[in-house]
Structure formats: structure tokens, C-alpha cells
A and B are shown apart, each in its own frame.
Chain A
């Protein structure tokens, strides 16, 4: 079984004394996958990155990503997809001098960015861009995660849910198609309220009347909805 192989539950992926991380289990001397996902073996540890609940990128998606590595002429980012997103220095608006410049001055490891997927090839190599003026580095704030499948519920029909949340809690809320949501609120209570509401939307996404129930909660908590 080699790295990045796609496996299903119950498939044998290794043997012996490997350190078990997520998505795997041991029976006797053999190690098996417990989920549908990609085998990831590093050194003496093994895991299967689950694909359910993962974000499958499409060109045009606007997502929130975190920079994980500064590389040659660009950055590697994490966006909850099976493979990392690659942002090349040519895709950011800032001008960069390859001889004098330092990429870290533009984006450093740990930075959060609001970015767009411009292409995905058959090996799931993801290319990102930040050329559009709406895309930017996100300062401060806090991030929340939800199942990417539930993102349409957070946005609501014609944006009804997200506009309600923005009015009641904070104008600065950005929902990424990849299920990562960034928000900058005035205080901790508002952050906690947003967290509770996102959890509620995720748990009740398959029910009807959700928008009204959220409206009621916002009325109670904030006096507006």
C-alpha cells in the first residue's frame, strides 16, 4: 500500500509496530483503514486522511486557507482538502523582487488568507490566487469549522441566513466554501454566540424552519434578527 492510495474501510494498509494516528485500527499484527480516505504514512506513523467531511475543491470556490509553509516562489496552504493548496507569488497582487525580496514579508506560516481556487488537476493539485481585490490576508478574528457540505445552509437562500448573522453579530464574517468560517467580533460573547449558532446549523441542516429558529435565538440574545 503506498502513500496517497485511496482505500475503503477494512482494507489492510500496513503491518507491525507503526504508531497509529487517525482513520486506522489494528487487529493482531495487521493495520487496517477504518474510513474511506487517503493513506498517509510518515516515518513510523500511519493514518488515513478521511475524505468524508473533507473539502473537494472546484475552480471558482472562494475559501479560507492557512499558510503552512513558505516555499520556492510561493506558499503551501491547508484548506481541509486531501491535498494542499499552492499559491504562487505570481498570483498575489504585491510586487515581489526575487533577488531582494523575502516572501515572508508578504505571507508567513500561520497566516490566514481569503483566497480563490483557480484550478484543480486530475492529481488534485490545487492552485490558488489572490489577485481579485476582495481576496486578502485576514487579520485577527477567529476561525470556525463546519462540514463543507453544510456551507449552503450557513449562507441560506439568496444569502438570507448569512445576512441575518452579519446584522446581528458582526459585519466581518466570511464563509469559505471549504467549511472554514472567519469572523471578527467585538467581544467574546459574540464569538461564542456565533459558534453556538454554527453548531446548531450544522446539526439541524436537514430540517426545515431552521432560519426562523436561528432568528428567534438572535432576537433573544442580541435583540435583533
Chain B
């Protein structure tokens, strides 16, 4: 499906969807929406919709993957076939395999894995609707689901991307911006000490542009962290 590139992605300092350059999309998070999983979370980020579920800690399958002194995380990131405009063939592909790997590495430092030797914690991330930034949405949901499951953690994990469009560094690109933009940099951060647990980049950025984008992300981390905390506490409040 051919779409013509819009002439400009930024007009009068605002993006086509009305956002400022350093403004993330609207976010809604719910902890524990599923009844059968040990932990779960649903995150709506702009038009992205991600559902994360946790099973475990439990036995490791296959057995030979287990570690004698700690639990392992087995992450499966999957995009539903109907999640994108042009229906995607169902099932894992190379992209989802890579995203599963980097998601696992983004969450591992936050979890007290040594509490559950030889076990496995299964993390499933299902992208129900995609609009660029799905891996960040998925990480936000998975981190919330882990806490929802009662798995001990050093910190929650917050994920957010920055990029470049029309030569300007911007926060949180949506699909159109990502298609026509010049760079995309997803980042995951453990908010308490601002430790980076995921970082990927492709495109073209000068050192200054990279630094500017990273600052934008760091400035928004605390706000998103608060949304995660509110979602967890909401579940246990009574009105």
C-alpha cells in the first residue's frame, strides 16, 4: 500500500498529531486484568495496545536451559496478525525473536532472579494493535505484569523512544513519523538510579542530537514511572 510522504512532519513547532517535540503520546495502564495468569498488565500507548502475562516462577522447559543459581526469563514478544494495517503472517519471525531477546535483557537487571534457582519466569507480550514503539509498550507492560505477579524486583522498568523527524530530535515517534523519520532510538530505564537496560538505535544522529534525545527520554522517565505505580496501587484500593 503506497502512501505519499507528507511534505512536512513538523509545522509551527507541532507534530501532525498536535504534539510538541518533547511530548510523549497518551498512556493508560491497567495492572492485573487477567484472572488466570500469575501476573498481567495491559498498556495503551498512543494507538499501541499491548497485553503482558506472566506465568511462574515455575519449572524450566526445556530442562537444559535452567540455571542452577537463579531463575531465567523466557520472553515471547508476538505481534498479532491483525495488529498492523497489512495483515502480518502469524507466528514468530526474526524481528520478534530479536525483540524478545532485547526485552529479556531489559527486564533481567530489575528482577531478583537469585530468589528462584532452576526456575523459569515466562513473560508473554502480545501486541494487539501497533503504531510504532511496540517494543517499548511491551516492556512497560511486562514490567508492570512482573510486579503484579509479586515477583521481587529492584525497580520497575520504564521504556520510551526518541527519534528524529524533519531534522528535529523528538520524543516517542508514531508510525508515520517512524516511517519517514531519520532515526529511532528505543530506550529502557530503571527509574530509581536512571540505569539504562535497553538501548538500540538506527538512523543518522550527530553526537549532540543523540545527547539531546537521551535527555528528553530521561526527563520523561519519572512521569511514566508514576503511571506504572498508580496502576499497581489502583488494583488494591477500595472506593
Residues of A within 8 A of B (CB): 6, 8-11, 23, 25, 32, 34-36, 50-53, 56, 82, 120, 122, 124, 147, 149, 203, 205-206
Contact = CB atoms under 8 A, between A and B. Distances in A.
Contacts of B155: 9-10
30 contacts: A6-B233, A6-B236, A8-B147, A8-B228, A9-B147, A9-B153, A9-B155, A10-B153, A10-B192, A11-B229, A25-B112, A34-B112, A34-B152, A34-B153, A35-B150, A35-B151, A35-B153, A36-B233, A52-B147, A52-B148, A53-B150, A120-B238, A122-B238, A124-B238, A147-B38, A149-B36, A149-B38, A203-B59, A205-B36, A206-B55
A34 B156 contact: no
A32 B192 CA distance: 11
Nearest to B233: A6
B156 A10 contact: yes
B37 A206 contact: yes
B87 interface: no
**Interface SS of chain A:** loop
Given A149-B35, A203-B58, A9 B236 contact: no
Given A10-B191, A36-B236, 17 more contacts: A6-B236, A9-B152, A9-B155, A10-B153, A10-B154, A10-B156, A10-B192, A23-B152, A25-B112, A35-B151, A36-B147, A50-B150, A52-B39, A122-B238, A122-B239, A149-B36, A203-B58
A120 to B, nearest CB: 8
Contacts of B55: 206
A33 B55 CA distance: 22
A149 B235 CA distance: 14
Interface of B: 35-39, 55, 58-59, 112, 147-156, 190-192, 228-229, 232-233, 236-239
Contacts of B190: 10
Contacts of A10: 153-156, 190-192
A124 B239 CA distance: 11
B60 to A, nearest CB: 13
Contacts of B149: 52
A11 B154 CA distance: 9
Nearest to A27: B154
Contacts of B153: 9-10, 34-35
Given A122-B238, A124-B238, A149-B35, A36 B150 contact: yes
Nearest to B56: A203
A8 B35 CA distance: 21
Contacts of A25: 112, 152, 154
B183 to A, nearest CB: 30
Contact of A8 (B58, B151, B232): B232
Contacts of B152: 9, 23, 25, 34-35
A35 B152 CA distance: 5
A10 B194 CA distance: 12
A23 B152 CA distance: 7
A111 B35 CA distance: 32
Nearest to A34: B152
